[in-house]
Amino acid sequence: MAPPASSKLVDLDRPECLRLLTMAAVGRVVVLAPGGTPVIRPVNYVLDEASQSVAFRCIQGTKLVSLLHSAHAWFEVDEFDHSGRTGWSVIIGGPAEAVNRREEARRLDGLALDSWVTGPDAVWIRVHTRVVSGRRIVE
């Protein structure tokens, strides 16, 4: 079904995109695996304003760790009101890195992430916000 004629897409600036990243809890990490096949996984995350990155936890050996071998990773989060036919979407792109310094991992542990991945093998990974774009559908 096509949106009503009065709906329009509005580009969002970087500050608004970063603000919206703090409003959601689950997004999708995208990375190209060897051979060019995209690997897309949902993760719960937190925006780490200090490092200007999206941070999340995963278990060593999962496909998410493979994103560390890529030059670039992408992260997407969105929210929609289906009945009101409005919503927004934010995409970031940048290098991904494992957080290996203990003091940095402890600092991230103090952020408001209700991680679904726990245990001694869980590691922090972050995707830096080098590229930030977003759009909102408004009436």
Segments making up each domain of the chain, as ranges: 8-138
Residue of 131 and 72 predicted with greater confidence: 131
State yes or no: pLDDT of 2 exceeds 60: no
Taking 70 as the threshold, does the pLDDT of residue 3 lie above it?
A: no
CATH number of this structure's domain 8-138? 2.30.110.10
% of the chain residues with pLDDT over 70: 89
CB 96 within 8 A of CB 61: no
Average confidence (pLDDT) over 99-125: 83
- Which pLDDT tens digit goes with each residue over 34-77? 777 888 889 999 999 999 999 998 877 666 666 777 778 999 99
Return mean pLDDT, the chain: 87
Model pLDDT, residue 94 = 94
The burial class, CB within 10 Å (0-12 / 13-18 / 19+), for 126 is buried
